[in-house]
Structure 1
Amino acid sequence: MSTNNSNAQTPHKITVISGGTATNNLIPLFQSLTPSAEISFCMPVSDNGGSTSEILRVLGGPAIGDLRSRITRLITDEGFKKILSYRLSEDPIDAKQEWTLIVEGIHPIWSDLEVHSKEMVRSFLIHVHMELLKKSRNPLTNFKFEMASIGNLLLTGARLFVGSLDPAIELILRMTRVDPLFQVLPCLNTNYTYHISALLQNGEIITGQSQISHPSEVIPNHPMTDLTVSMDNLTTSHSSSNCSPRVITGSFYNSILLSENHEDVPYQHPDLLISQLKFSKDVNSPLASPISRIFYINQYGEEIHPNASTRTIKALSQSNVIWYSIGSLMTSIVPVLVLRGVGETIQANCKAKKILLLNGNQDRETTGLDASGFIRTIYNACCYSFGADSNPQLKLSEILTDLIYIEDSEIKVNLAEIQSVMGVKCTQIQKDQIGEETGINLYDPKDLLDKVQSIIEH
């Protein structure tokens, strides 16, 4: 006698557009969605802060800090988790000694990893170590090991070995035994470095993701310090209206880069030369003016329009849920949405629920922005992705169907405007009392799970 499975529920396919830390805390939510959901995390590769900034400065390539952070959260094996989450000492000498012990395989962090897994991981660390040694011949590309993330160096070693970011991520996911239901997708499959700039409403341009969201302190004795300080002596000009590149009229910068000792140092926009190794996410001072828009630039500061990776487009087209996650709206979500092909794909996917999970608190990037402003930012970014010469006829409901917000949200939610005028359904979630002491508005996990399930199923 055959069993009729016609009523069996098809597993959900969910694409989460997000950055790093905030969405990491939602991993248990995604793991609890039933039936077994296929989750694709589509992530930006424009971060240039912290440990990532040193890798970009010395080895180039795409930013992998957020990717590594997401992979680490998905790992259940404690040995692998320890390796990918480990950071070297803040002291330069101690950090260099630690790195040597790790590469040689005798550091304590190897203790919880099986021998065959250890040697597999170590081979990629040795590979990136050799690349760093080659760069050490030039003082300007001598790697600073303090606070370096071993996970970032591992992922970089894998990318350099296999020759591309996408397969390197898949290799690390399989090597660390992450559940195959989870995919981690860079929005750009590239071996090159991509940066973003923010055009403020007052006409100012801020270049670099870290400079936009978490500006770094100046580091004494950093290899680029003398060079960046000397930027003050250069005459620069730029037009904020058309985002044209800065024009360098001084001779110091070019003489440094064209000299015999610095031949392998590529040209970089002056604003990107300031080290972003040390920054604090606790610094939340508002920008001088609200952000008008986010765009990608080349190393000269010229606006460019990259195409989204094919796997990102495929995930968005096949999903029945597209999730704009909490976190940094301008530097985590928008850098994905403005890529060519993304807005068109989201619009064409008529079957999908398109959900914005609103932040509970304001941040540096969105000070003064209400929930309607968040929605318009997402809509405008999708329109931008069609290209400057096009005039996309997008309905807001084709980009966003649902808004989830927290009770007593610091971000104002105008229900009448959002539901009646914009046509977006709003769902309120209870506040988690754990966040009361810190002043951070957190979603109650059970109420969030129940209501997300209800939205997805209906």
Structure 2
Amino acid sequence: MFLSTSTTPNEPNVMIPAQKRKVVVFSGGSAANSLVDEFNEVIEKNNCALTYVIPISDNGGSSSELIRVFGGPGIGDVRTRLVRLIPHTHTNILNLFNHRLPPSPEPAAAEFLTLLTGTSPLYDAIPTPQAMLIRAILSHLHLEILKRNRPPTSTFNFQSASIGNLFLTGARLFSGSVESAIYLLAIMGGVDESKTAVLPAIVSNFSHHISAGLADGSVIAGQNAISHPSEPTALNSNPSGDQADHASIMLNGINHTIEDATLPGSLPTLRHAAIAFSKASEEPLPARIERVWYINPYGQEMRPPPNPKVLEAIGAAEAIIYSIGSLYTSIVPSLILQGVGESIARSNGARFKILLLNGSLDRETGGFSALDFVAAITRAGEESRGHTFQSSESVDENLWSQYVTHLIHLEGQSVPRVNKEELAKWGVECVRLYGRKAGDGVTKGYFDRLKMP
């Protein structure tokens, strides 16, 4: 796909090395992590530089507690990608940043103290200068936690906290820059950013949340509520004993005597910490998602600009890839940012705009076909350019090829339906691959053995 040939009078059909090509991958966190090795193989074989663009709107898991107490971006997906890129030469750093504290608050807090004192076995074999720097960052975070604690009504919950997330937050608070925090983790982990860069879709010290509008007219606020039904775990909604006097004002399930990083009057769904939720069991949405947009803490729509480096990467890219993952919470939040759709649609250099079709449908895409995926990406890009649509209005199919030129899909029972003829009619070429076979001989929709062309 990325190699070029050239002929000369003296040496016909001589293969010449391609110049440093650039690839942009739009993705979320966990799902696309399974393709990191394949993407690494592509850039090595074709002398490419690759840029991952990852949204910061995730407000679930341990990130939700950091957002509740400190505000700031949801950095969980950025962290998972950075850690996945850490080479085997830095295994001990990888293990530390990938480690999670115990799932109960008291043991989790106790283990965090061992990281502060330097007695944690996670520091074994980590060079002393790096270990001391990590301890310093975590100590700074701990100081900020203590300043914000309001016992007994509000204390920081270390339950299931990712050390990488804690480190990135501490580094951001220390430096005042999320980009500096990402750089520090990357450089300590030995990630070669000249080959592979990880860009947050938005550069900000503030939280950015999304809402989804459904076909039945209802609206869901907050990424975690869109993707995964969850139960708040960090706040005590039913105080008893001595806590009752301190936590007596309850409204919409929120304890309003608790101080946190959210503004007064913020939507209750954005104030809840959602540390515990299940990715395995998903309740279906009551209706199909039609649109996703950014909101302020009060639920009002806003149109934030992207990280300027994202636009630069798109402008220099020869290939743009929409990776597997949650369509509306991993891919679309980056595409609807101001200027992103314009950059993709008008990019003269990006000859390949490739959609990796999910191997199965999830809560966000129940009943979708490949046509629906392409239409959703196109609509997001057009909304980024300021175009508005009525609730049930479909996007013009003539625009599809401005955003997607190739669709790569697996062969399997769980794969969304692919109408090759209809896609080809609108300029989208389909490429079929074969997924991994299970023990029963049935081909499943997994990309974990994908070898990119």
Identify the TM-score tier after normalising by the shorter chain: 0.7 to 0.9
Deviation at 1:442, TM superposition (A): 1.1
RMSD of aligned residue pairs (Cα, Å): 2.6
TM-score, L = length of structure 1? 0.86
2:27–2:322 contact (8 Å) kept in structure 1: yes
Shift of 1:41: 0.5
TM-score scaled by length of structure 2: 0.87
Q: Which residue, out of 36, 45, 67, partners 1:27?
A: 36
Residue 303 of structure 2 corresponds to: 305
1:244 maps to which residue?
Answer: none
Runs of 4+ in 1 over 3 A off after TM superposition: 137-141, 223-233, 261-265, 434-440
Following superposition, the deviation at residue 120 of structure 1 comes to 1.6
SS at match of 2:274: coil
Q: Determine the structure 2 residue equivalent to 1:290.
A: 288
Aligned pair in 2 of structure 1 residues 436, 182: CA closer, same or farther (>3 Å)? farther
Partner of 1:170: 183
Q: Determine whether 1:65 maps to 2:63.
A: no
Q: 1:123 aligns with which of 109, 123, 136?
A: 136
Question: One-letter code of the match for 2:198?
Answer: V
Q: Which amino acid aligns with 1:387?
A: G
Which of 319, 337, 340 does residue 339 from structure 1 map onto?
337
Q: Aligned in 2, Cα 1:407/1:52: closer, same or farther, shift over 3 Å? A: same
TM-aligned CA deviation for residue 423 of structure 1 = 1.2
The unaligned stretches of length 5 or more in structure 1 are 234-252, 454-458
Q: Judge which range, 29-38 or 145-154, deviates more.
A: 29-38
* Alpha-carbon displacement from aligned partner over 1:341-400 (angstroms, at most 9, x marks no partner): 10010012122110000001010000011100000000000000012579x997321111
Q: Distance in 2 between matches of 1:199 and 1:131?
A: 37
Q: CA deviation at 1:437?
A: 8.4
1:88-127 map, 5 Å:
88-127=101-140
Residues in 1 aligned to 2:248 and 2:288: alpha-carbon distance in whole angstroms? 27
Higher percent of residues as helix: 1
1:270-289 paired onto structure 2 within 5 Å: 270-289=268-287
Letter in structure 1 aligned against 2:417: K
User: Within 5 A, what are the aligned runs for 1:46-445?
Assistant: 46-76=57-87, 77-137=90-150, 139=152, 141-180=154-193, 181-219=195-233, 222-223=235-236, 230-232=250-252, 257=256, 262=259, 266-267=263-264, 268-352=266-350, 353-388=352-387, 395-408=399-412, 409-420=414-425, 422-434=426-438, 440-443=444-447, 445=449
**Deviation of the 1:273 alpha carbon:** 2.6
Residue 244 (structure 2) aligns with: none
Does the Cα contact within 8 Å between 1:228 and 1:273 map onto a contact in 2?
Answer: no
Unaligned runs of 5+ residues in structure 2 are 1-10, 240-246, 390-394
d(CA) in 2 for partners of 1:438, 1:96: 45
Q: After superposition, what is the alpha-carbon deviation per residue over 1:392-433, rounded to whole angstroms, capped at 9, x for unaligned?
A: 99732111100000012531111111112x210000001112
Matched residues in 2 for 1:291 and 1:149: separation?
A: 31
Instruction: Report the number of matched residues.
Output: 421
The Cα shift of 1:439 comes to 8.4
- Partner SS for 2:432: strand
Seq. identity, %:
38
Aligned counterparts of 1:263 and 1:431: Cα–Cα separation in 2: 46
Cα gap change, 1:156/1:395 in structure 2, threshold over 3 Å: closer, same or farther? same
Moved more, 436-445 or 26-35: 436-445
